[in-house]
Amino acid sequence: MCDPDCLHFAERVLSKADIEGKDVIEVGSMDVNGSVRPIIGQLGPKSYLGVDVVEGPGVDEICNSGELLTRFGPESFDVVATTEMLEHVRDWQETVSGLKRILRKNGVLLLTTRSRGFPYHAFPFDFWRFELDDMRAIFSDMEIEALERDTSCPGVFIKARKPEAFEENSLDDYSLYCIAKLRRCKKVNAFEYFLIEHVCGWLLRVLPKGFRTKLQKAIWKR
């Protein structure tokens, strides 16, 4: 899924040299409100595989984002694209590691996601918010070729290239802003996952913002 600014970013930063004759995978590929697939397709990829956790338009294969390395193996694709998916993944560190590791040396990663200020949007869950500094830290082991804010609504876009001498940085101790917990944290454990799914998700959807925030803080004892 993708909004118009995501599509414009992909059009601007992806070149024919990045795509032509290359193997491409799109992670979180179901076309809900737009897809980068037509943009990338016009640049002549050798192959294009769309994966998501559910069937739908643009989905060629069902695959959880945490299982990318197990399913496809290391360095299987020249281009990895993922738009508006990462904020919905509970274990974002595992997913980012998989995105990096299935990418071949000199391959390109295109990623878009949401920042603080963007409303809760469960599909079916919504956990994290990413800022420019987060992208710089998370992808400091890659060559960042483009990094921008979404100017229409809170979000970030990045294009990064995997270097020949790639050494993956550990993200285990990195904290991100969790929209349900209203603070930065490293992980969401099983109990917190239950609360987010059954309690905070409902609060964030239906209650007025001021009252909702007070209840969230009470739940997480912030």
pLDDT at 204: 75
User: Radius of gyration (Cα) for the chain, nearest Å?
Assistant: 17
How remote is the C-alpha of 199 from its chain's centroid? 24
pLDDT at 222: 58
In the block, tokens 């239950």 appear at: 194
Predicted TM-score of the model (pTM)? 0.92
pLDDT at 142: 98
Other Cβ atoms closer than 10 A to 122: 15
In the block, tokens 């193997």 appear at: 23
How remote is the C-alpha of 50 from its chain's centroid? 14
- The Cα–Cα gap between 210 and 217 comes to 11
Residue spans per domain, the chain? 4-176, 188-220
Confidence of residue 202 (pLDDT cuts 50, 70, 90): confident
- Please state which CATH number belongs to domain 4-176: 3.40.50.150
- Is residue 216 pLDDT above 80, yes or no? no
Mean of the per-residue pLDDT values of the chain = 92
Segment 91-141, tens digit of pLDDT: 999 999 999 999 999 999 999 999 999 988 887 789 999 999 999 999 999
Which two structure tokens, joined as six digits, stand for 135?
A: 């992208």
- Amino acid identity of residue 192, one-letter, is E
